[in-house]
Structure 1
Amino acid sequence: MTTHLKCLYCENPLDGSGEHVILSALGGKKQTHNACCNPCNNRLGTEIDKPFADSLQVFSNQVGITTGRGKPAPTLRKLDSGLGYEVNLRGQKPEVAKASVKTETLPNGQIRVNIQARNEEEARRLLAAQLERFKGKGEIGAVTAESVSQYLPQMRFSLKLGGSLGLRSVAKMMLNYLCINVRPDQVRLGVSAEIIKFISAGERPPEPWVDFDHRCVFPATPNPQPFQHRLFVFASPNRGLVFGLLELFGALRFSGLLAETWSGPEINRAYVIDPITNEAFDATVVPPAEIGREYFATRRFDLGVASKQLQAFFSTLGDLQRRQNLNEMIESSYHSQMPGEGEVITNDHIQKLARDLAGRFVVSLYRIDSREPLDPTTLMPSPEEDKK
């Protein structure tokens, strides 16, 4: 696609490149094709968007987002457990970073394989690799496998939320949403050159045009979710202002001044997306009354308010994870102890279920390490898989 309009950040014509309104790596899906060319898209994606998304990986990982491209939340890899070994953090579930496979040649020439894995699926993959490794060299005569769960001491994370690169990415998201709500030529005529330079080259304006904001009361939006992203853009020709508000994971808030000489249409729009389900909508909202030109000159980062918002985020997250853990224990216990379809449930089944569930609950409550034997026959590939 070709157009006479130029990229916001260089002299190249627009070429149809899609820019996410909220970063795809944070769960955003909506795109604009009226902002920048493909070279600038790639450059700014590498230069400012990726570092900002990476700085928020703890949030993405713990919430369990689905990216805009349908991928799961990133796994935090090779974290120091404080116990002399590294762990991976997949969602709220710590996993030993490396599984263990040991082989031994028996007196009869057969090979014994011992596997310690984080789950049955990983054990199956490791056994398949050993079968391939010893194909034609010897027969695997014995397999032992166990699933190992290890609880870790309380882990601590330090958060560095993007710095100047992050604020440039925030400003770009606000500008992208403006591009969706007005004609491309109006954006190019009305948006401040300072904010364009800040996004493109990091040239900081004399005053903080974009910054954290824990003072502004963000407008209400329908169907609130605990970890939602919300992006607002407001344009007022009467005041000549365009400004944006951004809330990430329901906890991190930013505001930004995009224009001071706006003569385009009035806009009061919000884009809301749940990064877990990717369900999203746009809405018309009432702009905050307290924001004017002077607001951006006096707004300051408030560490006390920011800390309270983060504490509320992790408290809500902890409650959600405890409920999820309980549901998983109930489901796992039910599948392991109750009879199959069509069979009669007896009092003995119910008593076994109660004992098993109580044991799982105690293990979780007191964070007891556990080793669960795996049935080797369930790990062996089927005849059909062997033929592949």
Structure 2
Amino acid sequence: MPSVLVISHENIQNISVARTLKDPDNNEMSGRDDVIMGDSSPRNPGAQITVNPHIKKGDLSLTDSLNMPEAIGWFEVDSLDIELKIDGRRSDWSFVAKFGEKGSFTLRLKRPAKGSAGPPPPLQKVREADVQALKLRGEQVAKCIFCDNELTEGTKPEHILLNALGGRKTTRRVDCSMCNGKFGSTIDNEVGKQVAVLRNMLQLDSGTGGEPPMLRKIQSGGDVINLMNDGTPELVAKPFSIRKLENGGFELLITTKSVEEIVPYVPHIAAQLRCTEEQVFQILKSTTGSYVERRPETVHHALGFGGPIAVRSAAKSALVLWATLTGSDEVKLPQYDDVRRFITDGDEAFNLTRAHLDSRYLPEATELVRRFGKFFNLIYVRSNESGRVVAHFTLYNVISWHIVLAETGGTPNARIALVSNPLEPAEWSDTIADEVEIDFAWLDSPDYTDELKRARERLEGALRHHVETQRERELSRIIDAVFTKRGIVGEHELVKDPRLWQEIIAEIGHRFALHALGLPYVETVSGEEIAARLRAVRDKGA
């Protein structure tokens, strides 16, 4: 039987436990307990353990991180033999053990199912190769899994799920700042560019709260527009142009979103016409302006997801997540060499044989949609008995990739997952693998023989969501414009005049109907009104 590195339970005396409990409604309760693990021993100089259990809708799970002082010895035994006692009674919780750097010993505890009886199941075995890598040798310093740079408190946090995808969970214990920066400007940047259109359409903030990206110089029929960060289209055009006529006169064309926006350009117009600003006001007073509101013509976007560069980013996210479970030392072992080389340098053979598209519907998609929205992102990593480690990366619940992180020899029978709601980035979970189990056989059987028909169906659903939300936003914008036009700006300001109310309702209905039909709404503005509004803005800012 291979040896397993453990701390003798006889060396552990009284342990102070701080606990924080959260119920499904996120109510919080804190307290302290005394936990006795094994028998006391005069050799034990003391140890501390912090317990942070989080109650979910189902079993209670928690992680105990035990940082052992150097004075406590390490022992090699044939099996992991730890008995947890609470209030002097043996616990019937089950255990999964993990070793980390600097003597960090982590237990994963899970409440037994209701009605279960008997002793807890045996602890997961740790392979001898991992044991040798995890032995305490002086002041061992954690190192980057992609190079040998040391990791410190100053290491730049790595977003496990990309910030651009709404990811919030970070780690400083897997890769260094240099590799993090390199990935951010290359493979991660490629993913960011691929999802830019969807982020703008669906109005998806980044994990750190950054606005959706602006889409510049988009062709819309005969116009060129920018889609602003909030999704609002803005015509790309010169604010004004002056054309000399054959009769010695000139034609002045001004294009702005409102009359008031003309004010900053008045000095420039005066300079080109070689006249005073007051003369410009007189010129505008003698003209007639038109306010034209129209829906942009159809915009064609080329959407593409994946490709070798983007898949390298997905593999990196999955490997980093796996390292938070198994420890960074494991993923530096030879069985992970191929995936690390694929992530850092690219590898066509790996991309063809160990990374595959998957258009199937997730078996637990309904539950995930209910909890994390219709466009959830999911990274699910799991291993089987032989230590084959596979990752399933789902992007916006539209398309997925199956990536083999290790053919064999990884930590067996383990799983971890990270899920997020890009519509509400604050809604995410890194314990979802304990609550939603996806079978290894399913994860390791990718299929896209439907020629991505299922993925296209889900993408069409995302586009329908965009149309529906944009329709609601446009109606809201029209309502605000109609009320503001009549000087009603307070949210709770009442319209007491019945005729004014009917006038407002009629204009809102008329303008929205034109928008729905793709027809322009045109409103004529007299020169006197233009000049008066411009002077009011100028005088207010003087």
Question: TM-score under structure 1 normalisation?
Answer: 0.80
Structure 1 residue 367 corresponds to structure 2 residue 518? yes
Partner residue of 2:411 out of 263, 271, 285 = 263
**Partner residue in 1 for 2:327:** 183
**Partner residue in 2 for 1:250:** 397
Structure 1 residue 211 corresponds to structure 2 residue 356? yes
Q: Deviations over 1:228-280 (max 9, x none)?
A: 3x223333463413333333233232232223322278334332132x44222
Change (3 A) 1:69 1:293: closer
Per the alignment, in what secondary structure is the counterpart of residue 190 of structure 2? Answer: helix
Q: Deviations over 1:166-211 (max 9, x none)?
A: 1111111222333444433344348621111111100134554333
Tell me by how many angstroms 1:385 deviates: 4.7
**Partner residue in 1 for 2:181:** 42
Query: Aligned-residue CA RMSD in angstroms?
Result: 3.6
Contact 1:190-1:263 at 8 Å conserved across structures: no
Contact 2:294-2:519 at 8 Å conserved across structures: yes
Tell me by how many angstroms 1:48 deviates: 1.1
Per the alignment, in what secondary structure is the counterpart of residue 88 of structure 1? Answer: strand
Change (3 A) 1:233 1:376: farther
**Partner residue in 2 for 1:319:** 468
Tell me by how many angstroms 1:294 deviates: 5.5
Change (3 A) 1:140 1:45: farther
CA distance in 2: counterparts of 1:126 and 1:86, whole angstroms? 21
CA distance in 2: counterparts of 1:98 and 1:216, whole angstroms? 45
Per the alignment, in what secondary structure is the counterpart of residue 175 of structure 2? Answer: coil
Point out where structure 1 has 5 or more consecutive residues left out of the alignment. 106-111
Partner residue of 2:421 out of 270, 273, 282 = 273
Moved more, 131-140 or 237-246: 131-140
Structure 1 residue 86 corresponds to structure 2 residue 224? yes
Identical residues among aligned pairs (%): 20
Total equivalences in the alignment: 373
Point out where structure 2 has 5 or more consecutive residues left out of the alignment. 1-138, 245-250
**Partner residue in 1 for 2:148:** 11
Partner residue of 1:57 out of 180, 193, 196 = 196
Q: Deviations over 1:269-307 (max 9, x none)?
A: 332132x442222142333226368625x7668322222
Per the alignment, in what secondary structure is the counterpart of residue 22 of structure 1? Answer: coil
Q: Deviations over 1:54-92 (max 9, x none)?
A: 122211111112223433211211122232x42222355
Contact 2:372-2:428 at 8 Å conserved across structures: no
Per the alignment, in what secondary structure is the counterpart of residue 72 of structure 1? Answer: coil
Using CA pairs under 8 Å that are at least 6 residues apart, name the structure with larger relative contact order, 1 or 2: 1
Contact 2:391-2:404 at 8 Å conserved across structures: yes
Contact 1:211-1:256 at 8 Å conserved across structures: yes
Higher Rg: 2
CA distance in 1: counterparts of 2:290 and 2:168, whole angstroms? 40
Contact 1:339-1:349 at 8 Å conserved across structures: no
**Partner residue in 1 for 2:235:** 96
Per the alignment, in what secondary structure is the counterpart of residue 244 of structure 1? Answer: strand
Q: Aligned letter for 1:51?
A: E
Structure 1 residue 20 corresponds to structure 2 residue 167? no
Q: Aligned letter for 1:217?
A: L
Tell me by how many angstroms 1:27 deviates: 2.8
CA distance in 2: counterparts of 1:5 and 1:92, whole angstroms? 44
**Partner residue in 1 for 2:372:** 224
Moved more, 64-73 or 287-296: 287-296
Change (3 A) 1:60 1:131: same
**Partner residue in 2 for 1:346:** 497
Moved more, 356-365 or 322-331: 322-331
Moved over 6 A (4+): 132-137
Structure 1 residue 127 corresponds to structure 2 residue 263? yes
Structure 1 residue 233 corresponds to structure 2 residue 380? yes
